[in-house]
Structure 1
Amino acid sequence: MTKSNRLPAIVREQMTSEQTAMLDAILAGPRKNLNGPFVAWIHSPALGELAQRLGAFCRYETGLPLRLSELAILATAAAWQSQAEWHIHLPIAVEAGILPDVAEQIRQGATPDFPLEDERVIWNFANELYRDKRVSERTYAAAVAMFGLPVVVNLVGLLGYYALVAMTLNAFGMRAEGQGEGDLPFAETVL
């Protein structure tokens, strides 16, 4: 379970029926754990239920291969400097085929040296959207030509969902399961 220094501890016996229904849905779904923003969202089960269903679609049903979905998630984690999001998704991305050197370049804020064109297209799309708040005609056309319009729409949804995840994790000072203070991929900003 993700830890937070801002959220009160909550145990099943203290949960409302809506909270336990959300908890049970998450644990019965493809994730099978609460690692990520779910500990925060359980405090607002109406939001949490909708968000976790959207997240299941964005993670597993976008039409992108896992390697490219995880690349988009790493781009999001780096853009938001989300400690827990990076910690959770880095091993998944590497196992799915993202080269460790490429992931490290993303973490450092460098322009990655991608071995595959589909990775470059996903990176350009995500990077432009986060950096410029828009996507250039060239990048948009390349993404649609490579993946098709429905998948590009889903990519935007995936990026938006994981930005929500990153904001949740950052706002509530959340760390991933097993993530210690010496395990932070980004310099910690204390306000």
Structure 2
Amino acid sequence: MTDRSPAARLPVFDRAHATPEQEVVLDEILSGPRGNLNGPFLGWIHSPELAQHAQRLGAFCRYRTGLPLRLSELAILVTAARWQAQAEWYIHYPIALQAGLPAATAEAIRTGQRPDFEDADDALIFDFATELYEAKRVSDATFRKTVERFGHPVTINLVSLLGYYALVAMTLNVFDMRADGQTELPFPE
């Protein structure tokens, strides 16, 4: 754990002094499928318009991409590992395991290795995300396989999910944010 705290990079947010715009965002997040403010939200709340757009995009990317939860969470873990986003990994690792992602697969991703995949869909999502992050493009072969397996709308949603969680990772990293209850770091600092 670093000796820095989010308060060192962000003003402390006190809901008792929230603006009406901040209250609207907080209420929408807390009444939505997340039900908590864990993650980047207490950073984004200092820019309520951004927070509103980002949290709505995030709800779509997390819950309505058309991908099974296991595959969405795998893509999020690839992103968290690429960015070494401590809180993103901490929050999504147990969700990925609960959704059926093997622990050995997650551990390989965390340590920057290619997992030995038992599931072809897992391998395809990993390859898509990895190619996009490494080459800044996706090969014709991987793109074709992804569209054949999931269709264009879900492929578009996958790109959006990867972009959204990169934004989350950047926010968490820049403001040195940790997840509620996080005492251990999955990545060295």
TM-score higher than 0.5 here?
Answer: yes
Partner amino acid for 1:111? R
Partner of 1:184 in structure 2? 185
TM-score, normalization: structure 1? 0.95
Which 4+ residue blocks in structure 1 deviate beyond 2 angstroms? 2-5
1:158-178 deviation line (CA, Å, top 9, x unaligned):
000000000000000000011
Give 1:11 deviation, angstroms.
1.2
Partner of 1:39 in structure 2? 42
**Structure 1 contact 42–48 (Cα < 8 Å) conserved:** yes
**Structure 2 contact 86–187 (Cα < 8 Å) conserved:** yes
1:6-39 deviation line (CA, Å, top 9, x unaligned):
2121111211100111111100110000000000
**Structure 1 contact 3–177 (Cα < 8 Å) conserved:** no
**Structure 1 contact 3–176 (Cα < 8 Å) conserved:** no
The structure 2 residue matched to 1:17, chosen from 20, 24, 29, is 20
Partner amino acid for 1:184? L
Partner of 1:130 in structure 2? 133
The structure 1 residue matched to 2:121, chosen from 104, 108, 118, is 118
1:74-132 deviation line (CA, Å, top 9, x unaligned):
00000100000000000000000100000000000001111100000000000000011
Q: Give the whole-Å Cα distance in 1 for the aligned partners of 2:122 and 2:40.
A: 26
TM-score, normalization: structure 2? 0.96
Q: Give the whole-Å Cα distance in 2 for the aligned partners of 1:127 and 1:18.
A: 37
* Number of residue equivalences: 185
Structure 2 residues not aligned, in runs of 5+ = none
Partner amino acid for 1:121? L
**Structure 1 contact 5–174 (Cα < 8 Å) conserved:** no
Q: How does 1:57-136 map to 2 (within 5 A)?
A: 57-136=60-139
**Structure 2 contact 6–175 (Cα < 8 Å) conserved:** no
Cα RMSD between the aligned structures? 1.1
